[in-house]
Amino acid sequence: MLSISDVYVLITYCSIVESSFIMLSVGAVLYFRYKYPKKERPIKVSLWIPIVFCLICAFLIVVPCYVAPYEVVMGILITITGIPFYYVGVVWENKPQWLMKTIVAGTHICQKLFMSSIEEKED
């Protein structure tokens, strides 16, 4: 059974990584607004909204680094462990057939387990 302190540690692991990636995504909006000001945009957002959002995300990154540095480092290490899987699954183009079958089978299992694929209806 998880205790309250264990839950707090798990939340810290996740929140630092999530806040970092969200801040990078919203920061990209600010960068593109600066780099390409005349570009047509599908959604128009006032500039103060992404700025405030980035400031809040920066706060959510800085405070845990000060309060719980060990948990922050562990969350970053957990995230970094995904890099080899990214290279094997996405970057490596000439994978052996057995690895491709394993990846496809794992994908189908996860889709069925988490009900994340839409069933095609036959007419």
Condensed to tens digits (0 to 9), the pLDDT of residues 35-94 reads: 998 888 888 888 899 999 999 999 988 998 898 888 888 888 988 999 999 999 899 999
Asked, for residue 45, whether it belongs to a domain, the answer is yes
Contact 94/70 with Cβ under 8 angstroms? no
Q: Using CA atoms, how far apart are residues 101 and 87, in angstroms rounded to an integer?
A: 17
Q: Do the domain assignments include residue 122?
A: no
- Specify the pTM: 0.68
37 located within any domain: yes
**Cα(19)–Cα(59) distance, rounded to whole angstroms?**
9
Whether 47 is covered by a domain: the verdict is: yes
Q: Could you tell me if residue 121 is inside a domain?
A: no
Q: CA angle, 26 as apex, 71 and 12 as ends, to 5°?
A: 15
Domain total of the chain? 1
CA distance 14 to 21: 11
Highest mean pLDDT among 8-17, 91-100, 114-123: 91-100
Whether residue 119 is contained in a domain is answered as no
Tell me the C-alpha distance between 16 and 18, whole Å: 6
Residue 123, domain member (yes or no): no
Range of the domain at 33: 7-114
